[in-house]
Amino acid sequence: MNFSEVFKLSNQLSKFSPNGKFLASCVQYRLVVRDVSTLQIFQLYTCLDQIHHLEWSADSLFILCAMYKRGLVQVWSLEQPEWHCKIDEGSAGLVASCWSPDGRHILNTTEFHLRITVWSLCTKSVSYIKYPKACQQGISFTKDGRYMALAERRDCKDYISLFVCSDWQLLRHFETDTQDLAGIEWGPNGCVLAAWDSCLEYKILLYSLDGRLLSTYSAYEWSLGIKAIAWSPSSQFLAIGSYDEKVRILNHVTWKMITEFGHPTTINNPKIVVYKETEKSQNLEMENLPFPPTRAAASSLFSTESKYEVVSSPVSLQTLKPLTDRPNPKIGIGVLAFSPDNCFLATRNDNIPNAVWIWDIQKLKLFVVLEHLSAVRSFQWDPQQARLAVCTGRSQVYLWSPAGCVSVQVPAEGDFQILSLCWHRSGDSMALLSKDQLCLCYLENEGVK
């Protein structure tokens, strides 16, 4: 495993281009585009203010930089560096901006969710979509980029509008049977739309592309409901993480529950492998340190190395007691993701923040638990194989694959606290992002050593 040198970064804004050739990163008001293979600066753009949001167009030709404070969006072309485009939302303000899947339209959400403005880069035309709903996940595009679903709120009722992305024509518009729609998400096949209610009620609704309600599922009543959902890449399963610390998996034929995964604090089954991160003692190395310590040595002194150890069951995991008097309590399954080959599901129970649970979907059983020294910030599956990268805000990046797992120290000067990470589409490298730095990590093809 190799690491690149460290680059400056602000707001953790760094993204690989969808074609995998470039890496865009923001430093204050500057946008730097590097060639991934050489890490040479390919283009350098200067925006009008500090950048808050960065997004590549789907064809990797344009980059969108949003400056929310100013209500501005600037678009840069990779092919024509002199080409520029600036979109000003004016007094309406800006809270979100995104590309349409065709890479020629920009959807800006104004403040207070007054409207969504659809700007076209091809024509002068501007479209407005009224009554967008202010919610967790109000816009969802199908994977093929043909359709967009939008959550709306009119007259105290939730609606979903389906648009054809090519000409922004409204295809369907229907009311949903929800108290307070929290999010919508297309299945990967682009034919089923999952819509779930806010956490006050456990309710998930499944709609077909033509607006028919396919099914409704509710596991229980009277307590906090759905926290996060995830579609399996094959659209076969819908995993629903909820506040009762369980994941329920629905099938795509009957939309009934297949199984539910509990996340107990103690793991008794000896078949489940529990990897526990433990700190390596550095006493031996202390003796070999040069007296006027070099910067690298000093930094390594303060950032302790760690390794995984297999712990024999029963294992009790560190738990966090959620505050009951605060909104959005830290309890329940907050993050969950399927591996690209559909074989595994990784979850995080927010009141056991140090652990990542990996479930075997073929056997519908818990497979592995990784317990870390710090709370898991984020994890992401390798887009090519069943390999999970985890970061916990320490200077280690953790990799798990069915063959085993490993903790790797980032050999950067100073404390490189990895807050998030994103894989390159090839699965050969990933970008590790700290608060103000960026580092690329290259992996060998053999998988985890």
Stretch that binds other proteins, among 4-12, 121-129, 268-276, 402-410 (CB under 8 A): 121-129
CB of 187 to other proteins, least distance (A): 10
Q: How many CA atoms lie within 13 A of 282 on its CB side?
A: 16
Which of 8, 69, 86, 280 is the binder for other proteins (CB under 8 A)?
Answer: 86
Q: Amino acid identity of 42? A: F
Residue from 103, 241, 332, 353 binding other proteins (CB under 8 A) = 103
As measured in angstroms, the least distance from the Cβ of 28 to other proteins is 22
Per CB under 8 A, the list member of 112, 280, 293, 314 interacting with other proteins is 112
Q: Which is nearer to other proteins, 85 or 311 (CB)?
A: 85
Question: Looking at beta carbons only, is 182 or 209 nearer to other proteins?
Answer: 209
Q: Which is nearer to other proteins, 117 or 434 (CB)?
A: 117
- Position 44 contacts other proteins (CB under 8 A): no
With contacts defined by CB under 8 A, name the span among 6-14, 152-160, 292-300, 364-372 that binds other proteins.
152-160
Of 89 and 371, which has the nearer Cβ to other proteins?
Answer: 89
**Shortest gap between Cβ of 143 and other proteins (angstroms)?**
12
What minimum distance in Å lies between the beta carbon of 164 and other proteins? 5
Asked if 87 touches other proteins (CB under 8 A), the answer is yes
The answer to whether residue 115 forms part of the interface with other proteins (CB under 8 A) is yes
- Looking at beta carbons only, is 112 or 220 nearer to other proteins? 112
Give, in degrees to the nearest 5, the angle at Cα 199 between 193 and 204. Answer: 25
For residue 69, state whether it binds other proteins (rule: CB under 8 A): no
The CB-of-127 to other proteins minimum distance in angstroms stands at 10
Q: Which is nearer to other proteins, 93 or 402 (CB)?
A: 93
203 binds other proteins (CB under 8 A): no
Our finding on whether 171 is near other proteins (CB under 8 A) is: yes
Please report, as residue ranges, which positions from 207 to 266 form the binding site for other proteins (by CB under 8 A): 208-210, 222
Chosen residue from 88, 305, 341, 428 binding other proteins by CB under 8 A: 88
Distance CA 379, CA 395 (A): 15
Q: Which stretch binds other proteins (CB under 8 A): 39-47, 163-171, 285-293, 427-435?
A: 163-171
Q: Which is nearer to other proteins, 155 or 325 (CB)?
A: 155
Burial of 112 (0-12, 13-18, 19+ CB in 10 A): exposed
**For other proteins, which stretch binds (CB under 8 A), given 87-95, 277-285, 381-389, 425-433?**
87-95
**Interface residue list for other proteins (CB under 8 A):** 58-59, 77, 82-92, 102-104, 110, 112, 114-115, 119-126, 130, 146-147, 153, 155-156, 164, 166-167, 169, 171, 179, 189-191, 208-210, 222
